[in-house]
A and B are shown apart, each in its own frame.
Chain A
Amino acid sequence: DGGITQSPKYLFRKEGQNVTLSCEQNLNHDAMYWYRQDPGQGLRLIYYSQIVNDFQKGDIAEGYSVSREKKESFPLTVTSAQKNPTAFYLCASSIDRQGLVRTEAFFGQGTRLTVV
């Protein structure tokens, strides 16, 4: 089945550690996105990528890094520089960046990151 898969579902991190969240899609979508969601809040854009080997900062990119070496994969690294990383992270994809506007975004099931 086509879809977008995030792993792991739950992740615990010690302070000062970097962690990487996985996002894989087999929808053949060009564009991929990372959002952060805090309790009772909407989604805030961290990074997005329109095409392989290209990505752009979103509203809250500080303390995060990404790579886009393959069309199917868009991993997010939460670095120790992120002051408050505990949150729910959502990955999404769309046909292309214009497609995000014209049609819809497809979301993964999310990764809940907790700093202990």
Chain B
Amino acid sequence: SQQGEEDPQALSIQEGENATMNCSYKTSINNLQWYRQNSGRGLVHLILIRSNEREKHSGRLRVTLDTSKKSSSLLITASRAADTASYFCATAPWMYSGGGADGLTFGKGTHLIIQP
């Protein structure tokens, strides 16, 4: 079952604009992570935000977390053509169930296209 759901599924913007993508989840989490995937490649970790944090920054990335709404957003400022990729949120459970297929649960991703 998928925990995180990204929105929108696809986003196309002009270079230099800001890109915002959202992630909603269903159950309590320990943390939420954002990953990036270039076409046909592996995932690269971008940022992790813990359940007791509300906002986190890393370079041009800004992540917010609202645990009351069970949602997170990833903002990429001053987008570049090289930011074209798929972006996934992944949620980590608050408690391990032990012996089960727990761990990170990934959404379907937002495909971001930056037009030059």
- In the complex, A106 Cα to B98 Cα: how many Å? 22
| In the complex, B56 has a CB within 8 A of chain A | no
B108 CB contacts on chain A under 8 angstroms = 40-42
A63 CB contacts on chain B under 8 angstroms = none
| In the complex, B59 has a CB within 8 A of chain A | no
Q: Which of B30, B35, B88 contacts A101 (CB 8 A)?
A: B30
**Max count, chain B CB within 10 A of own CB: residue among A43, A105, A109:** A43
- In the complex, A45 Cα to B101 Cα: how many Å? 7
B107 CB contacts on chain A under 8 angstroms = 42
Rounded to whole Å, the gap between the CB of A38 and the closest CB of chain B is 10
| In the complex, B60 has a CB within 8 A of chain A | no
Contact with B along A74-110 (1 / 0, CB 8 A): 0000000000000010101000010011111111111
Closest to A47 in B: B101
Q: Which of A42, A48, A103, A110 contacts B42 (CB 8 A)?
A: A110
A92 CB contacts on chain B under 8 angstroms = 43
Decide: A104 near B42, CB < 8 A? Known: A41-B108, A42-B88, A42-B106: no
A45 CB contacts on chain B under 8 angstroms = 101, 103
8 contacts between A and B (CB under 8 A): A42-B2, A48-B103, A56-B99, A90-B42, A103-B48, A104-B45, A107-B35, A112-B40
Residues of B bordering A, CB below 8 Å = 1-2, 4, 30-31, 33, 35, 40-45, 48, 88, 92-93, 96, 99, 101, 103-104, 106-109
Residues of A bordering B, CB below 8 Å = 6, 33, 35, 40-45, 48, 56-59, 88, 90, 92, 97, 100-110, 112
